[in-house]
Structure 1
Amino acid sequence: MTVFPRPHREDVLISAAGLLGGVLLWALGLHTQGGRGLPGLWVLGPLVAISLVELVRRSAPRTALLVATLALVADQFTLGSVATVAMFTDIVYAAVLYGSPSAARRIPWGTAVVTVTFTVAALSWLRSPEALLFGVVVAAITIAPATTGVLVRNHRDAAEAARLRAEQTTLLAEMDRTQAVTAERARMARELHDMVANHLSAIAIHSTAALSLDDARTTKDALAVIRENSVAGLAEMRRLIGLLRDAGDDREPAAAPTLRALDSLMEQARTNGASSGLVFALEDRRGDGAALPASVEMAAYRIVQESLTNALKHAPRGTVTVALELSRRALRVEVASPYGDRPGPRAPGSGAGLVGMRERVALLDGAFEAGPVTADDAGGTKIWRVRALLPVDEESGTS
């Protein structure tokens, strides 16, 4: 048993108005067939039937169209009612508007076929040009509402498609905004870690040494290094805060670190690592006049900086070597430090440094590797090696 949903309010109003209008026309004696057809109450049968199917014009448009067609045919055998014809046109319109897509395509063609067939039959039967008027009437109650339904449905579908596109555009914009915020937060985290971690690591190491060793000279030297690194770290923090505050202004951005500052970075590492027995050496094989993109220089500088910081935190006594080599296609950055157990104070590590280096290289579509390897010397000692390959434009470097 088919259970139809509750009728829509507008459908109830259309049904009631059509039924009351048809009864009023019947009471006034206004009919479409003149004196022909079944007299009396017979005209109310098709009227009641088609007014009832108006209630399901949205929920069951195909069933409503079938019953309405039968009611219209039955109405032709009575005195006829204009209300029945008017409600039939509304049901044809509703069948196209609320029916399935296939029904919306077939009904207009079906009404055209019915109109042409009826017109040809009328011409054959009456053999008079007046038969064309019957074709016009049939087209008015079939083709016209079907075409109107197609136009309204296309407009509704276009509006729905535009709404969906707007929602998708909004969703994509929100996704882009979220990704941009996430990328900016990751960039800020890398910058903050790279700028401050080096100084804080030196402060942690030397403050631990000052507390653990009962020697006035060692304590004084440690405090001097601590002060130097705290002042430098504070300056770096102020620079980062200035960058964040000035992000929306039209001012020139602060200069990003470049490889020209490697000498100062190495000198600072030598100062911080002297108490740990670390020696730092720079092998710059890039050649003279090597010009690199700013993004490559900054990434290389930060990789060296973080590698030196990790060496200060974890490496035992020995030599930390920084090597730079430039080819036509890439800049190779390699930092090798002693690997093994380290006596004395150590600064804790978070593991974010390796993640930041890997992210910097990935942003440039380069290659990155870090981990313990066996050195090429005769003793086969273990070293911790960081190696990054940063692509550059062919015209950026020199061979």
Structure 2
Amino acid sequence: MTLPRPHRVDLLIAVGGLAVGLLMWSYGLHTQTDRLITARWATLIPLVAMASMATLRRSLPQTALIVGTVALVADQFTYGTLVTALMFTDLVYAAVVYGPPSAARRIPYTTGLITIGVTIGFLVWWQNAAALVIGLITGMLSFLPAVTGAVVRNHRQAADAARLRAEQTALLAEMDRSQAVVAERARMARELHDMVANHLSAIAIHSTAALSLDEPRTTRQALTVIRENSVEGLAEMRRLIGLLRDSSGDMEPAAAPTLDGLDALVAQAATNGRSSGLTFSIDDTRAGSDAALPAPVGLAAYRIVQESLTNALKHAGPGEVRVDLGRRTDGALTVGVTSALGGQPGPRAPGSGAGLVGMRERVALLDGEFEAGPVTSDGGRKEWRVRAVLPVGTNDKEPSAWYG
């Protein structure tokens, strides 16, 4: 088996201990004066063995402690050196700090029992108080380093646990921040799309008509509509910028649109869609006023109608576009927009599909119901219908999510 490479600190301890031990041995500084083995060179064997085990104190702590214990016992039969005993205490400490958890729990109890056993054994043997000194020395060489190592290990484990908790907390905070950024970007995308897409679609349709038709009167009408939508779109963009600005800026956010503005919205759509053969109507059968609706519900309904009218301008065939508003018996607000399904004879504006996604997200934030797709009317005509049911009761969503 190949021994692991010693740690640099362990090598310094081993070399330093061996050098000091050799220096004390050369001057004849021993811990005992009369022992079984009288050869002075025999003292060097436990010293060298203990220094060798110091190089393994971190990589093989249990092996180092076992061999070190044997070396310490052998040192008692020679004249001995103080360095050998001190290096043994370091092996006990390292075995607790760097050893496996089971050894770290077992060694302090084992050394404590050894200390008590040695003290009692010498008291019975010597029958005098000098045995207490032997017990004290035994405790200082074994039990005290083990307890110190246990305290250090516990502090390190507590520090590691605290560091891990801090890293996990930072990770969770980063995940929350990322989710908040994604949610905010989604809200901004919905708001930008709903506010500006209607005007840009009208501009695209009428600019195409102005370019394709060589009639001064038609061109002038198209340019008039383009200018109106450009001005209104710019106003909507300014409102969005105001919403995003700091409150200390030079622009205060405008109030969010409500269902009271649907008549103007439908009238604008009628102006934009006249050249495409589209007519627009609104049927509001709600009981009570718009003030009875929570602001998030009113805003979501307004945006759904706005986006549906924009889609009708882009894709609906000639005919009527109907907007229906109502209240169910449970108080939920119902929104429906129906238009003719078919190709548009005039110029069309491209669509991205983001409108349906945005409407579905708005309804989902309010725990409502949403459906959009082709249907067959009572007269057998193919139509495209958007329908949403928006609960008006208590909603547990975050208020910031409602206004996306």
If the TM-score is normalised by the length of the shorter chain, which range does it land in?
over 0.9
Map of 2:390 onto structure 1: 390
3-state SS in 1 of match to 2:55: helix
C-alpha displacement of 1:394? 5.9
How many angstroms does 1:128 deviate by? Answer: 2.8
The one-letter amino acid of 1:374's match is T
CA–CA distance in 2 between the matches of 1:74 and 1:23?
17
Cα distance in 2, alignment partners of residues 326 and 192 from structure 1: 28
Q: How many residues align?
A: 392
Report the Cα offset of residue 57 of structure 1: 0.7
Q: Is the 1:329–1:394 Cα contact (8 Å) retained in structure 2?
A: no
SS at match of 1:110: helix
Larger CA deviation: 88-97 vs 230-239: 230-239
Distance 2:56 2:226 in 1: 85
Q: Distance in 2 between matches of 1:167 and 1:129?
A: 55
Residue 135 of structure 1 corresponds to 135
Q: Deviations over 1:44-102 (max 9, x none)?
A: 10110010110111111111111111111111111121111100000110111111122
Judge which range, 361-370 or 58-67, deviates more.
361-370
- After alignment, is 188-197 or 238-247 more displaced? 238-247
Pair 1:243–1:317, CA change in 2 (3 A) = same
The question of 1:11 aligning with 2:10 is answered yes
User: Is the 1:22–1:83 contact (alpha carbons within 8 Å) kept by the matching residues of 2?
Assistant: yes
Residue of structure 2 in register with 1:325 after alignment: 326
Q: Distance in 2 between matches of 1:329 and 1:123?
A: 92
User: Which residue does 2:200 correspond to in 1?
Assistant: 200
SS in 2 for 1:334: strand
Q: Secondary structure at the match of 2:339?
A: strand
CA distance, structure 2, for counterparts of residue 38 and residue 249 of structure 1: 93
Letter of the 1:340 counterpart: G
CA deviations on 1:165-202 (whole Å, 9 max, x unpaired) are 22222222222222222222222211111111101111
C-alpha displacement at 1:252, in angstroms?
A: 5.7
Change (3 A) 1:249 1:171: farther
Equivalence map 1:222-301=2 (5 Å): 222-246=222-246, 253-290=253-290, 291-301=292-302
Tell me what 1:345 maps to. Answer: 347
- AA paired with 1:367? E
The answer for the alignment partner of 1:51 in structure 2 is 51
Stretches of structure 1 that go unaligned for 5 or more consecutive residues are: none
Distance 1:202 1:150 in 2: 77
CA–CA distance in 1 between the matches of 2:168 and 2:201?
47
Residue 56 of structure 1: SS of its match in structure 2? Answer: coil
- What SS class does the counterpart of residue 218 from structure 1 fall into? helix
**C-alpha distance in structure 2 between counterparts of 1:72 and 1:383, whole Å:** 97
CA distance change for structure 1 residues 14 and 252 in 2, over 3 Å: closer, same or farther?
Answer: same
Q: Is the 8 A contact 2:190 2:358 kept in 1?
A: yes
Within 5 Å, give how 1:32-71 maps onto structure 2.
32-39=31-38, 40-71=40-71
Structure 1 segments, 4+ long, off by >6 Å, are: none
CA distance in 1, matches of 2:332, 2:130: 90
Paired-residue identity, %: 66
> Which of 358, 361, 371 is equivalent to 2:360?
358
Distance 2:118 2:185 in 1: 74
Separation (CA, whole Å) in 2 of partners of 1:250 and 1:167 = 41
Number of the residue aligned with 2:401: none
- Map Cα deviations across residues 120-162 of structure 1 (whole Å, 9 max, x no partner): 2222222333322222211111111111111111111222222
CA RMSD of aligned residues (A): 2.0
The one-letter code matched in structure 2 to 1:368 is F
Report the Cα offset of residue 217 of structure 1: 2.7
Distance 1:382 1:156, change over 3 A: same
Paired AA for residue 51 in structure 1? A
Distance 1:324 1:95 in 2: 79
State the distance in 2 between where 1:179 and 1:385 align.
33
TM-score (norm 2): 0.92
Q: Is the 8 A contact 1:372 1:385 kept in 2?
A: yes
SS at match of 2:163: helix
| Per-residue deviation, 1:365 | 2.6
**C-alpha contact (below 8 Å) 2:243/2:252 kept by paired residues:** no
CA distance in 1, matches of 2:242, 2:253: 10
